[in-house]
Amino acid sequence: MATVTFASKLQNDGSLVMPKEAVEELGLHPGDEVQVRVEVTNRAGHLEKPDQAALQAKFDQFFDHLDTLTFEKPTKFPSGDQAETASAELMDEKYRKLGVKP
């Protein structure tokens, strides 16, 4: 899919004008369909800034909850499957590396 980037001003009737150079470069003819992606360039700062205090409170609550989590190693796997045994051995190694006592 060919693409061309150009700027255009919104007309009173809501239409946009495509520059002649873009039309020629894309090889467009009347009736051809095009896909349009619109990016506003003259209002870059119009988004509301997030409430930093509220965000910090949410992060604090999240990390407080994170501190209450515990890691428990399963003591027995129901099937005794070799894949589960290998997985348990990998978990043992991860626990050792993390310094968590199973």
For residue 46, what pLDDT is reported? 55
The answer to pTM > 0.75 is no
62: tokens are: 């999240």
| C-alpha to C-alpha distance for 7 and 5, rounded to whole angstroms | 7
| C-alpha to C-alpha distance for 68 and 72, rounded to whole angstroms | 13
Given a contact cutoff of 8 angstroms between Cβ atoms, the answer to whether 41 and 6 are in contact is no
Question: What average pLDDT does range 37-55 have in this prediction?
Answer: 74
| C-alpha to C-alpha distance for 68 and 70, rounded to whole angstroms | 6
For residue 31, what pLDDT is reported? 92
For residue 102, what pLDDT is reported? 53
